[in-house]
Structure 1
Amino acid sequence: MADFKELIDSIRKEQVTLFLGSGFSRKAGAPMANAIVASLKESLPNDIKEDFRDETHLDLISEEYEQIYGRESLINKLEEIFNFMPTDTSDHTCLTKIPHIRHIITTNYDTLIEDAYGPDNCYVVRTTDDCVNLPKDKTIIYKIHGDFSVKDNILLTKQDYTNYFSNNNETLLWKYIQSHILTNDMLFIGYSLEDSNIFTLIQEIRKKTKVDTRKYFLIAPGLYNHKIDRLAKTKIKYFNAKAENLFPILFETLNKKIKSDYQRKHICLDTFRRYSNQHYLQPIVQEGQNENKVIKFDTTGNTEVKINVSGLSKEVAETIMSQDTSLYNSFLPRTHIPAFMITRDMMKELNISINGLTITDYDDCKNLFISPTVETIKTSISVPSIKFKEKIKLQRYNPNKEQVCLLLETEPYTFKLVFSFLPNKVLNCTCNVNSKENCKNLQEAIKWMDFVIALWSQEKFIIKVFDKVPIRFPKTNLYELEQFKKIKKYYQNLSEIEDLYNVEFKTIETYSEDNFQMSELLIHSYHEHNLRENMLGQECTVEVGQEQEGMWDKIEVGETKYSFALTQSSLEHVVLNGLKFNLKNKNTIMPQCQILEIQKENGKVNQIKFKILSEYVFIKYTNRVLTEFEEFSKLKKIS
């Protein structure tokens, strides 16, 4: 078998221009040069036919035919010969599936190549004028010998070739062809390179360039040794094979390497997309300066996924084959779907393909997750008692034969329903609610808290996909119900804080007791509410500044008729969900206290120790003086 690796490497890097001769169309039933020669000789007059009995060169026979019958008759005869019904065009079809090849040069008169591509995918160049404004999104086909759409440009006779190359009828077009031979690797298929013009051109380029020119490859079956030797002198690599021998190996390589070739910037995005599209895949990418990233593949048609893993231990293999999700050791990333995680060091080889195209291999993989098949269902869910109804998307999977799991992603939490089929055809339903780290829409969060509160309150709910059968949880966890109510209050607080403080939370952290208390504090601070706190029996010591004259003369240790109010200035910001807030001064009012100790310095009171006798103290956040409030108007400031 021919070793095509070097050629395939060039194709993978989009460095190959293809040169197709008549042999490429042989399988499709196109007439070869010897058949055309035989047909033209058969049409020659009998007295001349004998003179050309041993002639095999098409250019000489066609020139003789033209001298006898004229140019128009020659072209009509050639067109008649090429009026054939194509048979096997599989090679042409394979060619269209290689977007890496954007330029094709051909000497063929037939239209099999452009027919295979179709007008939307290729552009045909026959003259210099056709080279103006070449499209970048199509394969360019250069028909350097012309075809029957522009009969005046057909090259066939000896004189045609002489005029073309000596008189330079298409100077710019031919220079364009020369530039391809000079700057690209060339692959010749169905072409023996015996045409002196092409072969001579390659030799001239070799002589005139001081550095190594591009690579040249020839695929042709059964060349004679002397021809192979001739090619070797020109450093043309010869493959004793047919195009149909190359294509399977090429496609197998492209299927495995197309993604990595794009990531390494060996191919352009258009080539990557066109090849992926042939496999019903649409790549989502991120282009970078040094490398490209493939984020994911979206499927656009039928999907066949194959995973080949080798080197797994017997224990791991048995766990996977058992399909018992209770044995699984992880979850799919960013989901609550059970999965078995296979780490890189647990396997030797890995290949994951979709529709034959490799999307991940061992080099890409850190961990491989195997999970139950997940189906996305569009439906609606409702709780009639609270007039709740929403269109939703559920993820459905079967952890085992007896259970069905439904996952619903909401703004504040992931909602997991597990339906178990018990004996006597009884359907049991359990539910788990897993809070998310954050959410972005407060009103959505409040709405979905109403939903889960209704469920824990044993309200009936309906999932349309279950034929509108009402479902009710058999038991209520009162602690969880109160927690859900508190979480709802937290989100309501945040919504109120946005209005009161004229702010907007970009991201809302999940409920925690600290976050909840902070939200409560901000609201109470804004409204200057009187808050109650149980401090019965606590002892406090306060420093006293310049007291009013004579005030402390009547105070004695043991007295219980006094109230105290302490003011603490707010010097620091508080942070909630990434935003900073200023709290007002904290005022603590203790309605009844017992004097435990009085300390003096230089005859003046400087410290008082007292005990709180009232069941509650009042806390008010305000920057105003407490005596401005009616309920605290009798307080007197002592420091």
Structure 2
Amino acid sequence: MKFERLIKLVRKCKVSPFLGAGFSIEAKAPSVDDLKTAILSEFDNEKLRNEHKDDSLQDLTNFFVEEVCNGSRNQLIELLHEKFNFAPACMNDHSMLATIPHFKHIFTTNYDTLLEDSYPIAERNVVRNDKDCTYIQEKKTTIFKIHGDFTDPDSVIITSNDYEQFFEEPINSGLWDLTKTEFLTKHILFIGYNLYDDNIIDIIKHISDAVGRNQKEMFLIVPRINESRKTQLKKLGVTYYEAYASEFLNELITELRSNISKDFKHGEISSEVYTKFCNFHDFTPGIIMPPDGENQIKGFKPLEKKSIEQKIQFTVDDVYKEIANNMDFEKYGVIIDNPIYPAIPKIEFKGEHLLNCVHSVNGIVIDDNISAILVMPVPKDLELTIHIPSRNFIEIIKGKAYALNKQKVVFDIDFHIYTMKMIVAINEQASIDRKFDVNFTFKSKDTFTDIDLAIKWIDFISAFFSGEDVFIKDVSNIPFNIKNTTKNIEHNFEKFKEYYKNIKQIEQLTGEKFSLYHDCSEQAYYASCKYLAYLKHEPVIVKSPGGVKISAEAITLPDFAESNYENKEMAAVSTSTDIVLDLNGKTYKIPYMHSIYSPCKVIKLQRKDQDKIDIEFKYEADQYYALYSDKPTLEEFPKVKALN
């Protein structure tokens, strides 16, 4: 790495840039020669122009002010202001610099405003004089314009007299003191100076004289420089890099992307610097800074109207090479029993077989010390049209699809009350024959939250297992069915549908919704039938294979006569009380259940004593009616007689 030592210092926020006119060359800012030509054109005669064409810019402007303009700076400032009023051609270097929050203070001798224009107004301070120094806000990037600019004409330093005063009796002594302090506390990086202009040499010398050997190491980036200047730089303690600014900035940003997360974790930079750099890459990191231990990065949030792209790049050894090349999740993948992971097969790469692994977000490396990774296929969101012609049923449902390998695709669909996994095997012959091997797996859910969805989607699984044609149009135009199966599959899905409809009616009649619904079981089904019948005050049919015998012992009949009862058909009602039902986590109590046996016969009468008899009835039908009621027997059936 060409700039290794310098970049290491920048990563720790220990460097401050010092920018010269060369930094604005690509933007087509006026060069020194352009300025000299413009000034010489203001001279009255050719003789003067020839005499001063080789002057330095400082000497030429000084002559122009003192001799041509009789000591007035007004014409010079207007001329220069006009020259610097230009549309920049290329701002790449300025834009890159503005994305590096490690540079908290930036110094420049340039008169243009390209540097400050590269930063949002709310995020930078511009200091041209001592007054500006009093308004510096520490959280912002501060741009020190030590030669001023044309927004404050008195701050502009350009003539040789200006430079002499700048070093000996500076008007803005506070600004000059801050500049000297920066040389003491930070490494200074000069960019855009060729050092043929003695101006910057003078600045380095004056600061060196002021701070002695306590100043930090300085660096210079410039495309070309002769050997004599290199020797001079070495004496001044300046390390030289032969390069363009863009070359350095590109390498710096690349290194920052690779190392800034590591630097933040180790406490080398502040959370503000880290967050701002991430913001330049369109996201905000979630960070934790414990009092002890390393800083942590937990999560990433895209900036408004921006997106996040996460990447995992890794290499493996020869042991895992075949697995990595094929990514056969059917052969090598496993389902991990952990609720934080989706139920999709995953391949794990770990240990010494994982040679390196890097996690990045929008180009910024978050972690390059990963010891194990899980790789799974990426599910694709789908909208599938389900069509069951026999039931006049057509609905759209969302699902996901992913590839197990090159031959098999998995469709995962959540039908709210159950899930369906459909594995479609595709090969060349299947494509020709238009026949595919398809494997279906259904898995019911213990609970669900929407009774309307339950009523809707029970039709799909019921039709499927009933052998009806089911079309999943986005998968195939050929219907799916089990007509050709050798097994006769029995199912109770129509009973499930009745159960769901019962629950819906119970909610409508009570005016109360269940917060959670339990899957249909035998007990839940009959509980729903009973409670719905109770609410509607309608009898229900109870199966009684072989009939029912009802007996009563030691009862009293006031008008008892055997001839009135024996072998005669009549109706009998038996009553149970306090029927308790559990339904979807709620408990319901029904006061009475009346079992109605009609017709039935008295098959046995036996007198116990003068007032008491035993009686037995026989109900021969295979089913009877039951009525769930709030009323006791004699109120519900006023014409029956009680067997006391």
Q: TM-score range by the shorter chain?
A: 0.5 to 0.7
1:220 partnered with 2:220: yes
Give the letter aligned to residue 220 of structure 1: L
1:532 partnered with 2:508: no
> Do 1:41 and 1:49's aligned partners in 2 also have CA atoms closer than 8 Å?
no
What fraction of aligned residue pairs are identical, expressed as a percent?
Answer: 21
1:503 partnered with 2:489: no
Instruction: Give the Å deviation of 1:294.
Output: 1.2
For 1:496 and 1:615, locate their aligned partners in 2 and report how far apart those are by CA, in whole Å: 28
1:425 partnered with 2:433: yes
- The equivalent residue for 2:65 is 66
Instruction: Give the Å deviation of 1:625.
Output: 1.8
Instruction: Give the Å deviation of 1:25.
Output: 1.0
- The equivalent residue for 1:447 is 456
> Per the alignment, in what secondary structure is the counterpart of residue 488 of structure 1?
helix
Mapping of residues 102-141 of structure 1, within 5 Å: 104-113=106-115, 117=118, 125=126, 141=143
Distance 1:574 1:376, change over 3 A: closer
Distance 1:112 1:501, change over 3 A: same
Instruction: Give the Å deviation of 1:107.
Output: 2.7
Instruction: Give the Å deviation of 1:308.
Output: 0.7
Match of 1:370 among 372, 376, 379: 376
- The equivalent residue for 1:248 is 251
For 1:548 and 1:245, locate their aligned partners in 2 and report how far apart those are by CA, in whole Å: 110
Distance 1:319 1:163, change over 3 A: closer
Match of 2:147 among 145, 149, 156: 145
Distance 1:5 1:107, change over 3 A: closer
Distance 1:49 1:369, change over 3 A: same
For 1:444 and 1:176, locate their aligned partners in 2 and report how far apart those are by CA, in whole Å: 75
Distance 1:548 1:487, change over 3 A: closer
For 1:584 and 1:175, locate their aligned partners in 2 and report how far apart those are by CA, in whole Å: 93
> Per the alignment, in what secondary structure is the counterpart of residue 276 of structure 1?
coil
Instruction: Give the Å deviation of 1:67.
Output: 1.8
Comparing 426-435 with 472-481, which one deviates more in the overlay? 472-481
Instruction: Give the Å deviation of 1:418.
Output: 3.6
> Do 2:261 and 2:367's aligned partners in 1 also have CA atoms closer than 8 Å?
no
Instruction: Give the Å deviation of 1:249.
Output: 4.7
Give the letter aligned to residue 257 of structure 2: L
Q: Which has the larger radius of gyration?
A: 2
1:412 partnered with 2:417: yes
Match of 2:314 among 305, 308, 327: 308
In the TM superposition, what whole-angstrom CA distance separates every residue of 1:125-151 from its partner, at most 9, and x where no partner exists?
Answer: 466899999999997655453345665
> Per the alignment, in what secondary structure is the counterpart of residue 224 of structure 1?
helix
- The equivalent residue for 2:271 is 266
For 2:78 and 2:119, locate their aligned partners in 1 and report how far apart those are by CA, in whole Å: 26
- The equivalent residue for 2:329 is 325
Comparing 342-351 with 431-440, which one deviates more in the overlay? 342-351
> Do 1:30 and 1:82's aligned partners in 2 also have CA atoms closer than 8 Å?
no
> Do 1:27 and 1:87's aligned partners in 2 also have CA atoms closer than 8 Å?
no
Instruction: Give the Å deviation of 1:48.
Output: 12
- The equivalent residue for 1:211 is none
> Per the alignment, in what secondary structure is the counterpart of residue 293 of structure 1?
strand
- The equivalent residue for 2:359 is 352
Distance 1:488 1:269, change over 3 A: farther
For 1:510 and 1:202, locate their aligned partners in 2 and report how far apart those are by CA, in whole Å: 85
> Do 1:305 and 1:354's aligned partners in 2 also have CA atoms closer than 8 Å?
yes
For 2:437 and 2:639, locate their aligned partners in 1 and report how far apart those are by CA, in whole Å: 56
Give the letter aligned to residue 419 of structure 1: V
1:395 partnered with 2:400: yes
- The equivalent residue for 1:473 is 481
Which TM-score applies when normalising by structure 2?
Answer: 0.65
Distance 1:629 1:110, change over 3 A: same
Number of aligned positions between the proteins: 584
Instruction: Give the Å deviation of 1:327.
Output: 1.1
For 1:321 and 1:239, locate their aligned partners in 2 and report how far apart those are by CA, in whole Å: 47
1:630 partnered with 2:640: no
> Per the alignment, in what secondary structure is the counterpart of residue 195 of structure 1?
helix
> Per the alignment, in what secondary structure is the counterpart of residue 412 of structure 2?
strand
For 1:589 and 1:225, locate their aligned partners in 2 and report how far apart those are by CA, in whole Å: 111
For 1:514 and 1:124, locate their aligned partners in 2 and report how far apart those are by CA, in whole Å: 75
Distance 1:516 1:83, change over 3 A: same
In structure 2, runs of 5+ residues without a counterpart are 194-199, 222-229, 291-295, 604-611
> Per the alignment, in what secondary structure is the counterpart of residue 491 of structure 2?
helix
> Do 1:586 and 1:619's aligned partners in 2 also have CA atoms closer than 8 Å?
no
Distance 1:615 1:627, change over 3 A: farther
For 1:147 and 1:501, locate their aligned partners in 2 and report how far apart those are by CA, in whole Å: 81
For 1:102 and 1:249, locate their aligned partners in 2 and report how far apart those are by CA, in whole Å: 16
Give the letter aligned to residue 581 of structure 1: T
For 1:633 and 1:134, locate their aligned partners in 2 and report how far apart those are by CA, in whole Å: 100
Give the letter aligned to residue 252 of structure 1: E
Mapping of residues 333-348 of structure 1, within 5 Å: 335-342=342-349, 347=354
Match of 2:20 among 22, 25, 42: 22
In structure 1, runs of 5+ residues without a counterpart are 208-214, 232-237, 596-604
Distance 1:336 1:104, change over 3 A: same
> Do 1:589 and 1:618's aligned partners in 2 also have CA atoms closer than 8 Å?
yes
For 1:154 and 1:114, locate their aligned partners in 2 and report how far apart those are by CA, in whole Å: 17
- The equivalent residue for 2:607 is none
Mapping of residues 284-299 of structure 1, within 5 Å: 293-294=298-299
> Per the alignment, in what secondary structure is the counterpart of residue 94 of structure 1?
helix
For 2:389 and 2:99, locate their aligned partners in 1 and report how far apart those are by CA, in whole Å: 56
Mapping of residues 158-173 of structure 1, within 5 Å: 160=162, 162=165
Distance 1:17 1:411, change over 3 A: farther
> Do 2:125 and 2:137's aligned partners in 1 also have CA atoms closer than 8 Å?
no
> Do 2:310 and 2:359's aligned partners in 1 also have CA atoms closer than 8 Å?
no
For 2:147 and 2:398, locate their aligned partners in 1 and report how far apart those are by CA, in whole Å: 60
Which TM-score applies when normalising by structure 1?
Answer: 0.65
Match of 2:586 among 570, 580, 588: 580
Distance 1:167 1:259, change over 3 A: closer
Match of 2:158 among 149, 156, 159: 156
For 1:625 and 1:108, locate their aligned partners in 2 and report how far apart those are by CA, in whole Å: 102
Give the letter aligned to residue 321 of structure 1: N
1:97 partnered with 2:99: yes
Mapping of residues 543-554 of structure 1, within 5 Å: none
Instruction: Give the Å deviation of 1:22.
Output: 0.6
Give the letter aligned to residue 368 of structure 1: L
For 1:199 and 1:623, locate their aligned partners in 2 and report how far apart those are by CA, in whole Å: 102
> Do 1:41 and 1:52's aligned partners in 2 also have CA atoms closer than 8 Å?
no
> Per the alignment, in what secondary structure is the counterpart of residue 503 of structure 1?
coil
